[in-house]
Amino acid sequence: NNMLAFQRTAFHFQPQKNWMNDPNGPLFYKGWYHLFYQYNPDNAIWGNITWGHAVSKDLINWLHLPIAMEPDRWYDINGVWSGSATLLHDGRLVMLYTGSTHTSVQVQNLAHPADPTDPLLIHWVKSDAHNPVIVPPKGINFKDFRDPTTAWYNSELGLWYLAIGSKNDSADHAGTAFVYSTRDFVHYELVPGLLRFVVGTGMWECLDFYPIHIEEAVGLDTSVRPGKSVRHVMKVSLDNDKHDYYAIGRYFQENNSWVPDDPELDVGIGLRVDYGKYYASKTFYDQDKGRRVLWGWTGETDSERADLLKGWASIQTIPRTVLFDTKTGKNLLLWPVEEVNSLRFSSKNFSSLQLTAGSVKPLQIAGAATQLDITAEFEIDGSSLEAAIEADVGYNCSTSGGAAGRSALGPFGLLVLADSDRTEQTAVYFYVARGTDGLLKTYFCHDELRSSKANDIVKRIYGSTVPVLDGEILSVRILVDHSIVESFAQGGRTCITSRVYPTAAIDGAAKLFLFNNATDATITAKSLTVWKMGPALMRPFDM
Ligand code: DQQ
């Protein structure tokens, strides 16, 4: 099926072939960004997991490198699973990862570069003398203990700390985080207590734990201690529902606990990193640019059969800068790293486009609309806003009719990867409603239901509410790349990633539209810019 060739992305990170999942051990080292990733070198489905490896100068253009670690020891023979990098103060680099042993016990292992002077870090050495360095603690299932975090340092105690996700089945499927301390990364002690414990959330995969500055737009090294201006973010990937959740809170190292600012928004039950197809994300502190960068895995939503036919599965989303939202004080702002802008090669600006209720407007851009970076701002006309009084209590992106639903103030937004007759389209939209309390509430959603005519695709409507403060305009940024659509509403307060598989809206037939399905309101696209995006370089390794 030659249709499958159109799904390959142009500027998202993908191995040349086969299966990929979680990003692992990201870091900046001697001038290079490193990305390791869960990789099956033999097949386009999960299994036989190794660490794939690639390097970049800018997080966008990549050089593929040889596999960094393979399952070749008793302590990782069933898979070299996820892990994280820690840069020590003397410049040394340690890698901790989960090994699934010959009896499928999940243990934590230590590895380090064979040649620390090699900026490409091509060869890796596992610590055979010491591995496994951590085994599952008493009382938990040996298959529920994985994915060590980057370690953070307490200089007063001379100790490094790291967290490992788990679950406790005897306590209502509570997701839990264990913390270990170490001086040398060889010997570890389980720190008494649990960093956090949330009933009903199940296994916490790919835990991430890091400080965030709540006043300034800067990233913080993972070892920065809590303080007046520093909170800690905890992120977990829920095995139960395959979504990444985070919460912002306070870390009390002295009693090994982290407490969310808002108990209603505890980790695993509150905010999602991304409301679409997105999992196993991990951040790192980029000491070169003083920012924290988030990687996330987006899998396929087509069939396994299609993946085998096309010979590859999964991509990584464009890395996102992580900041605290000082305006709302409640959430993070996730935004594509600025380097992606270097792929913009031509732009078309539109301004003050009026969309009457129930209208669709094509946006004329030259050539294929398959590789785009779009920014748009929308305004609802004032009289409609005033007039809208609805009994709208329970809007839900997933169940309220999607882009085809109609109400006073929405939905409205863009249709991407659409063919000219719109037999296929992926809708990225806002929906505004006045709640029973008289206040406006804004939702941000993706509707994939018409994204493909293929019959082996899981199609969903994703989304959530997005905070819009007084005086703010509705804004969205959308990255379109053949089979992925990544959207960021209100500067990155709410993000959604979709995988889509158009069969008609491909290549030159892919178009872009604005739509307004509101029953009354006129919507104005105040400003709209569409950049065409060039391909990123993904060079094979040959030396
Ligand atoms: N993927 C890895 C595990 C992790 C899971 C195995 C999350 O370490 O928990 O490939 O996707």
- SS3 percent helix, strand, coil of the chain, rounded to 5, is 5, 45, 45
CA 341 to centroid of ligand 1, rounded, Å: 31
**pLDDT tens profile 481-511:** 999 999 999 999 999 999 999 999 999 999 9
8-state DSSP, 13: B
Q: Establish whether residue 21 lines the binding site of ligand 1, counting it when its CB lies within 6 angstroms of any ligand atom.
A: yes
Residue type, 224: V
Residue nearest to atom 9 of ligand 1 (CA): 205
Q: Tell me the pTM.
A: 0.98
Residue type, 63: L
CA 38 to centroid of ligand 1, rounded, Å: 8
Ligand 1 atom closest to 237 (CA): 7
Q: Rounded CA gap, 530 and 472, in Å?
A: 22
- Residues 105, 96: contact at Cβ < 8 Å? no
- Residues 490, 328: contact at Cβ < 8 Å? no
Tally the residues of the chain: 543
**pLDDT tens profile 234-277:** 999 999 999 999 999 999 999 999 999 999 999 999 999 999 99
Q: Establish whether residue 82 lines the binding site of ligand 1, counting it when its CB lies within 6 angstroms of any ligand atom.
A: yes
Q: Establish whether residue 325 lines the binding site of ligand 1, counting it when its CB lies within 6 angstroms of any ligand atom.
A: no
Confidence at residue 391, expressed as pLDDT on a 0 to 100 scale: 59
Q: Rounded CA gap, 61 and 319, in Å?
A: 12
Confidence at residue 543, expressed as pLDDT on a 0 to 100 scale: 64
Q: Establish whether residue 206 lines the binding site of ligand 1, counting it when its CB lies within 6 angstroms of any ligand atom.
A: yes
**pLDDT tens profile 446-466:** 999 999 999 999 999 999 999
* Catalytic choice (22, 147, 208, 381): 22
Ligand 1 atom closest to 49 (CA): 10
CA 423 to centroid of ligand 1, rounded, Å: 37
Q: Is 288 assigned a catalytic role?
A: no
Residue type, 141: N
CA 447 to centroid of ligand 1, rounded, Å: 28
Q: What b-and-e string marks burial along 149-159, b requiring 16 or more CB atoms within 10 Å of the CB? A: bbbbbeeeeeb
ipTM of the assembly? 0.99
* C-alpha dist (Å) from residue 432 to 154, 208, 332, 378: 47, 33, 22, 12
Ligand 1 atom closest to 98 (CA): 8
Domain boundaries, the chain: 17-336, 344-534
Q: Establish whether residue 38 lines the binding site of ligand 1, counting it when its CB lies within 6 angstroms of any ligand atom.
A: yes
Q: Establish whether residue 96 lines the binding site of ligand 1, counting it when its CB lies within 6 angstroms of any ligand atom.
A: no
Q: Is the dihedral of CA 440, 441, 445, 449 positive or negative?
A: negative
Q: Rounded CA gap, 84 and 82, in Å?
A: 7
* 300: its two tokens: 């396929």
8-state DSSP, 136: P
Q: Establish whether residue 146 lines the binding site of ligand 1, counting it when its CB lies within 6 angstroms of any ligand atom.
A: yes
**What topology is assigned to 344-534 in CATH?**
Jelly Rolls (2.60.120)
Q: Is the dihedral of CA 140, 144, 145, 150 positive or negative?
A: negative
Confidence at residue 320, expressed as pLDDT on a 0 to 100 scale: 99
Please state the rounded mean pLDDT for residues 290-308.
97
Residue 348 phi, psi dihedral angles, 5° rounding: -130, 130
CATH superfamily to which 17-336 belongs = Glycosyl hydrolase domain; family 43 (2.115.10.20)
Confidence at residue 392, expressed as pLDDT on a 0 to 100 scale: 55
pLDDT at 171 over 80: no
Angle 269-271-275 (CA atoms, 0-180°, nearest 5)?
110
Residue type, 181: S
